[in-house]
Chains A and B, each alone.
Chain A
Amino acid sequence: MKRKIILVIKTAVFLFLLAATLFTVMVVTERKTSYMKNKSFFEEAKKDHLDVLFIGSSHVINGINPIDLYQDYGITSYNLGGHGSLLKESYWQLIRALDYCKPKYVVVDCYMMDRNYEYVDEMYEDTPKEFKQAAVSQLHLNMDAYPLSKLKIAAVKDLVHDPKIQYEYLFDFIVYHNRWSELEQKDFQKLTGKSEYNTLMGAEMKHELEWNDNGMTEYNPDDKLSEHTVCEEYLMKIIDECQRDGIGVLVTYLPFSAEEQDIKSANSAAEVAANYGVPYINMLQMEGLIDPMTDLCDPGHLSSTGAKKVTDYIGNWFSENADLPDHRGDDSYSNWDKLCKDYNKEVRSISIKHRLLTTQLNELTLGKASAIVYLTEDSPALQDPWFTHIISNLTGTDRVYEASKNHQQYFMLIDRASGNIYEAVDYEQIENMSTSMGEMTYVPIEKRFRLLYLTSDEENNFLYDDNYLKDDVQIITYDNESGEMLAHIYCESSHSYEIDE
């Protein structure tokens, strides 16, 4: 008998150790994106810190920055947007999130409301297989972080048709055990709770710009969806759910390079919002809200500067239309202040130096550093409409086009502390420029020689260096307050706008 008892105890201990080992392996091999995205959500929701939830697709992830919203308006929010998420997925995302918190407002974006299929793993009959696979993979971002529950099972069953694939969301080790061969440091860091996580409260800012003309389709306000779609139904469900719970709803259509079906969706969304009596902001229709050449990182997604504009717009709307508390200065929200500081530091770092000159120049519009830009008269960049557009966007004037048109050298200084912007074309001189570096003077002498010096130190020329005679673009950045020089970038723009990091 005693032997039997010992055997039972030994077996139990063994099974416990085996289970603990397997659990550890599951934690390590799990794809961390969902965990990273939602870690702060669970923490902030637990503290009842979230006044606004944003739901929608990647347009929301890249278009709304809760850190800016807090920094500029004191509104605490979380970006629960999911890559490729349809409104049906957003609905379930919201339902799961409401299990953890009760926000004062939910902002729902209606991109892809034209999609009229039930299951992400089936889509339409003629949808290519790789699209379905991508959708199945993207849904993991929304699902993985949430523990197994009746709600999660219901969500998975409603979103995914194939039972085999359903299991992949309920027991994701089925998918992730294969990651053993690609594990990184961060995978193991999760065991100690010190792994990286999303520091923008769910948002992802796209800083890098890629050249595209991002043309906009002409907006026809009468074009509407020809049928009642599955996604439209779920928009209604989202509004119903919020209204039932006494949560304010704001329906949006964030801007991008929209096509015809997007315009139809936007117009139909307006009808749904009107029927429910909820506010609707259709940014597709707002000409001039964003600059497609700099505020879109690709035709579908906002860049960080675009996100800043859109977030500002939403922040203003809340200030005027909702009674949301300003949490700035509240000690219990001090981690938000720290995240703001970190984000500002990141933007500043990109403004000072980035792999792509165009990205750096665009980021300078966010004002985290002051800058001096010089282009030689034969600079290829000066003849590039995109590059000159970015410069013009930075200064807010058309003087760079003048230099471009006449093949003349161009100088620009933008001093954030004083708000002064100085520009010179051809052989124009500028004296006594007031900057946080001190009083400065710019004197172009000849094609390959120009002077930029502190009035107090004429010996030190900032814009000349024998080692960089071939480079036609120079960017100097300096600290807004102290005037300390932060970086001096040289670039030969005939090759590309890429610089050595």
Chain B
Amino acid sequence: MQLISVQFIILLPIMALIYFLIPAKIRYIWLFLMSWGFYLSLDLRGFPVLLFTSVSTYVGGRLIEKLEGGKKKAVLSVVVIANLVILALSKYTGLTFLAAAGMSFFMFMAIGYLVDVYRGDLYAEKNFLLLSLFISFFPQVTSGPIERAGHMLRQFKNPQKFSYDRMRDGLLQMIWGYFMKMVIADRCAILVSAIDADPVKYAGTATLIASILYTFQIYCDFSGYSNIAIGCARILGFDLMKNFDAPYMASSIQEFWRRWHISLSSWFRDYVYIPLGGNRKGTARKYINILIVFILSGLWHGATYTFAIWGLLHGLYQVAGHMLKPVKERLCTVFKVETGSFSHRLLKIVTTFILVDIAWIFFRVKDFSSAIYMVLHILKPAPWFISKGTIYELGLDRPNVLLLLISICILIGVDIANRLDIKISERITRQGIWLRWLIYIVAVTVIVTCGIWGPGYDAAGFIYQNF
């Protein structure tokens, strides 16, 4: 069962209704059962891995709390390494029997918990079901957000009463998530896969379009999932951390990483970058730490070296950004650039977008030479790809391409509003009933009708679920 399946949409209200009807004290048991049931329906073969992580983390946490000194460290190391070995073996050696859906996510959550207990930031959880629920909470188990135990365990122990406003807000966020995933991401995927299947056949403009669309595809796919997960949790009375915050509105790579996959970036910051010394041990060490973190982040996504190159590129972007900062400031002074102007900010946003876009090419291709070919191919424009209508022969007809463009414009509009701290959902809920309802009904109708689903569509595919 997927978050975008009909079964899930039918089951969620039933599960939520039962959740709010049973006594608050035992609700976490129901949530736990739902979560394991959800996981079993999704990946029966991967369940032993989830079970291993849950048990080892529970036992490890209890021991770490009880033990002192070297033994404490040893237990932490053993449990963390055991989980990482399973993760590495399944990812990098192709031992599929060790693979489990969402293992990169729930193992990182478990490791975060163990480190927190080790550092004394958190008491070890005594209730196995509660800890297991934290690791396997169904909205986030397959693709995050990579939550922190302190934040979630507190909420599981103090469940909220049913709130109409929370339900409405949660539903709105889910609708937005479904829109991003089904209307934008999966529509982009059709064009991108058609062009990627034979990039030599199509002109440079096609490669350029595919690369831009992939940029939106991966954003809408992952952010769409996060919105569904966060919205779903909100209906049940839980607040999950924000995972995306208008990342393509970032005006630097550094800012991009504060807005993209926030839960993973902050996890690497807290559990890798800072323990490595962060920026406290001099500039050179800081740059090395940045590169290490980003290469690891790349490898977290997959076994192939292209992911590492993608991570390295982002690391280099950041290092270059730091190193060139005085030069940029000098140039701005010499040429009297008004750094606060709209044009300057726009230029920075567009430059960041281009850099991110180039990096995504390495992320999506199978080898380095294909990526280089694509980058060079983009430089050979052929606008007739659009004017002659070839673009309409790649799986999306004219109305579908038009819908895609309109949807991307809506997405950009919403992200600009987010960047300006305008909460669209709040604006909608403040409107009169007829307009609110009209917006809700139109949104659901567009998703259900124009969303990519049904025969020929692989419902298994959230890109980040594979990581």
Contact = CB atoms under 8 A, between A and B. Distances in A.
A22 B444 contact: yes
A22 B448 contact: yes
B455 A168 contact: yes
Interface string B429-447: 0000100010011001100
Contacts of A180: 399, 449-450
A18 B397 CA distance: 28
B449 A14 contact: no
A21 B438 CA distance: 11
Given A14-B440, A181-B397, A21 B455 contact: no
A181 B403 CA distance: 9
B192 to A, nearest CB: 19
Interface of B: 164, 397-400, 403, 433, 437, 440-441, 444-445, 448-451, 453-455
Nearest to A28: B449
A29 interface: yes
A232 to B, nearest CB: 31
5 contacts: A10-B433, A14-B440, A174-B455, A181-B400, A182-B399
A97 interface: no
Contacts of A10: 433
B10 to A, nearest CB: 12
A230 interface: no
B448 A25 contact: yes
B449 A25 contact: yes
Contacts of A181: 397-400, 403
A406 to B, nearest CB: 53
A356 interface: no
A469 interface: no
Interface of A: 7, 10, 14, 17-18, 21-22, 25, 29, 164-165, 168, 174-175, 177-178, 180-182
A389 B164 CA distance: 79
Contacts of B437: 14, 17
A175 B455 contact: yes
A46 B139 CA distance: 50
A18 B449 contact: no
B445 A17 contact: no
A177 B454 contact: yes
Contacts of A21: 441, 444-445
A178 B164 CA distance: 34
A367 to B, nearest CB: 45
Given A7-B164, A14-B437, A177 B448 contact: yes
B4 to A, nearest CB: 14
Contacts of B400: 181
A181 B449 CA distance: 10
Contacts of A14: 437, 440
Contacts of B164: 7
Nearest to B401: A181
A22 B400 CA distance: 20
Contacts of A29: 449
A25 B399 contact: no
Nearest to B446: A180
B454 A17 contact: no
A174 B454 CA distance: 5
Contact of B441 (A17, A164, A168): A17
Contacts of B444: 18, 21-22
Nearest to A178: B454
Contacts of A164: 455
A82 B406 CA distance: 40
B455 A25 contact: no
A138 to B, nearest CB: 15
A139 to B, nearest CB: 13
A171 to B, nearest CB: 9
Contacts of A25: 445, 448-449
Contacts of B451: 177
A12 to B, nearest CB: 13
Nearest to B457: A178
Contacts of B403: 181
Q: Can you list the 10 inter-chain pairs with the closest CB atoms, starting with the nearest? A: A181-B399, A174-B454, A177-B449, A180-B449, A21-B441, A25-B449, A181-B400, A18-B441, A21-B445, A181-B397
A7 B398 CA distance: 42
Given A25-B445, A175-B454, 10 more contacts: A14-B437, A21-B444, A22-B448, A25-B448, A168-B455, A174-B454, A175-B455, A181-B397, A181-B403, A182-B397
The winner among B398, B400, B441, B455 for most chain A CB atoms within 10 A is: B455
Contacts of B453: 174, 177
Contacts of B449: 25, 29, 177, 180
Nearest to A165: B455
Contacts of A168: 454-455
Nearest to A4: B164
Nearest to A176: B454
Contacts of B433: 10
Contacts of B397: 181-182
B168 to A, nearest CB: 10
A66 to B, nearest CB: 34
Nearest to A13: B437
A431 B347 CA distance: 91
A10 B397 CA distance: 39
A10 B448 CA distance: 22
B175 to A, nearest CB: 11
A122 to B, nearest CB: 16
